[in-house]
Amino acid sequence: MRTPKPDPGELQRRLRAAYPDAQCALDHQDPFQLVVATILSAQCTDARVNLTTPALFARFPDAAALAGARQEEVEALVKSTGFFRNKARNLIGLGQALVARHGGQVPSDPAALAALPGVGQKTANVVLANAFGVPALAVDTHIFRVARRLGLSKAPTPEKVEADLCRAFPRADWIELHHQLIFHGRRTCDARRPDCAACPLLDLCPTGLGKMKDPHLGVRFEAPSQDLPASALNRRQASAQGPQRIVSLVPSVTELLVQWGFAARLVGRTRYCIEPRWIRNTVPTVGGTKDPDLARIRDLAPDLVILEQDENPKAVAEALTALGIPWLALEIRTVQDCARGLRLLGERLGAPEAAEPRAVALETALKGRRRKGPRALALIWKAPWMSAGPDTYLGDLLRQGGLTPIGPDRYPVLSDADLGDLAPKMILLPTEPYRFNRRHQAELQKRFPEATVHLVDGQALTWYLSRTEAGLDLVRSLR
């Protein structure tokens, strides 16, 4: 049976959106440094090469210096990149060949490049593309794997895969595509554990959809639609009428949208929207939560921007209105608000089925009488001290978890004397937004020997909606 090939134009559009920062990962200042770094990158990570080259280039800054180098000295400098004897020999040979044949300069002629010691077709293509801007599409291990998984090639060798890719994509796009496919292979389409459920190419990929065996691992993936009860794919199809270009200005909502399978709809996030981790590489940022870049948001042409009233200033909503951009502002001050917020989001996104079970489970968890637990102070900042008051989401989370939140309402600044006057029986130090650590814990414990001082997971305590259940569990475990 023929496997359908993804549309190259659509594939490029998605890759551009997912990896706007795709570029050569080898640090270099000139063609000479790039060719050396590329030789060292064989069977080695780019990160390791980047750690190795500064000392190498400081000692041997150009081809002439390398041409006269002693083998043992070069070996010692490149040892950590593996195959160091061979690489050192090639590097010295490279320096000698460049001096003898090209006046010490790296040639931009493909044949002359490929004829240099240690420089095969792949290295030559990398150098041509990145040092001289000559269209080339070097197929490395990542591109080989990704291209075959995507059904772009069935060829068994990198050279043939390169030929297939060059036929399928415009010459002008080869350099960009080369970097994007490498980024995709590194960040999403991992050799052993591809993250298909979160992949922006999933609906274009015959391997991810289980339509063919993974040419790399030789197994057939379960299509996500069978894997998850209400999968990303099904939901995308079922709710095609909902907003499709969402900018989230709320870190926990960003995470929630991914949990619901809407990663492909996210076109923008704040720099604080950092979970799940891979989102940092695939969704562009639009500034911070308090000061988002409105021009960038406008350029992304979203059909919905999601805000939260405590997290984002009212002026942002007003500016979005002035720009004619639709927005939705949540208001989360209690755990009960989370159930309402889940339903509101579910309806607005055209996916009430994603929200309802979680909202019901949350409401069930809130039922029943609660004992009045120890007086607990949740600090959120140091120098000056700031706390989350009883009328905040965090305050209510403590209450619902069986503690008694204390302190002034909202997020007050507290003096040392205020802290003493509050006489807490329990002090919580979340790991964010301030990075409280064991040293702070020890200091406060010394100052309040009657109280118990806990260093706790800040995301569980403050990331409403996506982690409310985890927050409740955490607080209950403290009680």
CA torsion 159-160-161-162 (nearest 10°) is 50
443 alpha-carbon distance from chain centroid: 35
Q: Which of 81, 125, 153, 188 binds ligand SF4 (CB under 6 A)?
A: 188
The residue with its CB nearest to ligand SF4 is 208
* Residue in the block written with tokens 């099904």: 234
Of the pair 62, 195, the CB lying nearest ligand SF4 is at 195
> To the nearest whole angstrom, how small is the minimum distance from the Cβ of residue 215 to ligand SF4?
10
Identify whether the C-beta of residue 68 lies closer than 8 Å to the C-beta of residue 149. Answer: no
* Residue in the block written with tokens 């999403």: 188
Q: If binding is defined by CB under 6 A, does position 232 make contact with ligand SF4? A: no
Q: If binding is defined by CB under 6 A, does position 194 make contact with ligand SF4? A: yes
What is the secondary structure of 37-71 as a DSSP string? HHHHTTTS-HHHHHHHHHHHHHH--SHHHHHT--H
Calculate the alpha carbon distances from 64 to 52, 57, 100, 129, 376 in Å: 20, 12, 10, 24, 69
> To the nearest whole angstrom, how small is the minimum distance from the Cβ of residue 171 to ligand SF4?
23
CA torsion 354-356-358-362 (nearest 10°) is 160
> To the nearest whole angstrom, how small is the minimum distance from the Cβ of residue 282 to ligand SF4?
11
> To the nearest whole angstrom, how small is the minimum distance from the Cβ of residue 38 to ligand SF4?
25
> To the nearest whole angstrom, how small is the minimum distance from the Cβ of residue 96 to ligand SF4?
42
Of the pair 200, 430, the CB lying nearest ligand SF4 is at 200
Nearest-angstrom CA–CA distance, 346 and 328: 12
Per CB under 6 A, contacts with ligand SF4 among 118-157 are 146, 149-150
Nearest-angstrom CA–CA distance, 467 and 463: 5
Of the pair 17, 64, the CB lying nearest ligand SF4 is at 17
Strands 385-387 and 413-414: antiparallel
Q: Which of 202, 304, 342, 472 binds ligand SF4 (CB under 6 A)?
A: 202
Residues contacting ligand SF4: total by CB under 6 A: 14
> To the nearest whole angstrom, how small is the minimum distance from the Cβ of residue 220 to ligand SF4?
11
Residue 285 is classified by DSSP as B
190 is catalytic: no
Peptide bond into 156 cis (omega under 30): no
H or E stretch including 73? helix 71-78
Backbone angles phi, psi at 472, to 5 degrees: -65, -45
User: Who's near 129: CB < 8 A, 6+ residues apart?
Assistant: 135, 136, 137, 138, 174, 175, 178
| Interface segment toward ligand SF4; rule CB under 6 A; list 134-142, 175-183, 187-195, 315-323 | 187-195
| Interface segment toward ligand SF4; rule CB under 6 A; list 86-94, 205-213, 228-236, 321-329 | 205-213
Per CB under 6 A, contacts with ligand SF4 among 427-466 are none
Q: Which of 118, 208, 243, 407 binds ligand SF4 (CB under 6 A)?
A: 208
Of the pair 193, 446, the CB lying nearest ligand SF4 is at 193
| Interface segment toward ligand SF4; rule CB under 6 A; list 155-163, 188-196, 415-423, 453-461 | 188-196
Nearest-angstrom CA–CA distance, 143 and 138: 8
Q: Which of 40, 147, 201, 304 binds ligand SF4 (CB under 6 A)?
A: 201
| Interface segment toward ligand SF4; rule CB under 6 A; list 27-35, 170-178, 193-201, 311-319 | 193-201
| Interface segment toward ligand SF4; rule CB under 6 A; list 190-198, 284-292, 416-424, 471-479 | 190-198
Peptide bond into 276 cis (omega under 30): yes
Q: 3-class DSSP state for residue 296?
A: helix
214 is catalytic: no
Q: Which of 140, 164, 195, 310 is catalytic?
A: 140
Of the pair 205, 354, the CB lying nearest ligand SF4 is at 205
Which tokens belong to 454? 């806990």
| Interface segment toward ligand SF4; rule CB under 6 A; list 109-117, 204-212, 230-238, 471-479 | 204-212
Identify whether the C-beta of residue 275 lies closer than 8 Å to the C-beta of residue 251. Answer: yes
Nearest-angstrom CA–CA distance, 128 and 267: 33
> To the nearest whole angstrom, how small is the minimum distance from the Cβ of residue 135 to ligand SF4?
24
Which tokens belong to 176? 């960009």
Of the pair 24, 150, the CB lying nearest ligand SF4 is at 150
CB atoms within 10 A of CB 100: 11
Residue 79 is classified by DSSP as G
Of the pair 92, 196, the CB lying nearest ligand SF4 is at 196
Q: If binding is defined by CB under 6 A, does position 116 make contact with ligand SF4? A: no
Nearest-angstrom CA–CA distance, 178 and 158: 13
H or E stretch including 129? helix 121-132
Of the pair 136, 196, the CB lying nearest ligand SF4 is at 196
| Interface segment toward ligand SF4; rule CB under 6 A; list 75-83, 199-207, 323-331, 380-388 | 199-207
Q: 3-class DSSP state for residue 466?
A: coil
Of the pair 218, 368, the CB lying nearest ligand SF4 is at 218
Q: Which of 33, 125, 207, 239 binds ligand SF4 (CB under 6 A)?
A: 207
Peptide bond into 107 cis (omega under 30): no
Binding site for ligand SF4 (CB under 6 A): 146, 149-150, 188-189, 194-196, 199, 201-202, 205, 207-208
Catalytic sites, residue numbers: 122, 140
